[in-house]
Amino acid sequence: MELVEKRVRNAKMGKNTIHDVVLVGRSTRIPKVQQLMQDFLK
């Protein structure tokens, strides 16, 4: 999640400006990964 936070900061965006997220790749099907992203964006 550290990388996700860093990318959001580098883009000069806030969590509240992100409306949709498209998870791509095999590991994104893991429920824990999906839950971490949902929690991060709350």
- pLDDT value at position 42? 87
C-alpha 24/C-alpha 14 separation (Å) is 21
Which residues in 2-13 are b (16+ Cβ under 10 Å) and which e? eeeeeebeeeee
Segments forming the whole domain that contains residue 21 = 1-41
Domain count, the chain: 1
Structure tokens, 20: 């949709």
Q: Could you tell me the pTM of the whole model?
A: 0.73
What's the pLDDT tens digit per position in 8-39? 999 999 999 999 999 999 998 999 999 999 99
Q: Which residues contact 4 (CB under 8 A, 6 or more apart)?
A: 37, 40
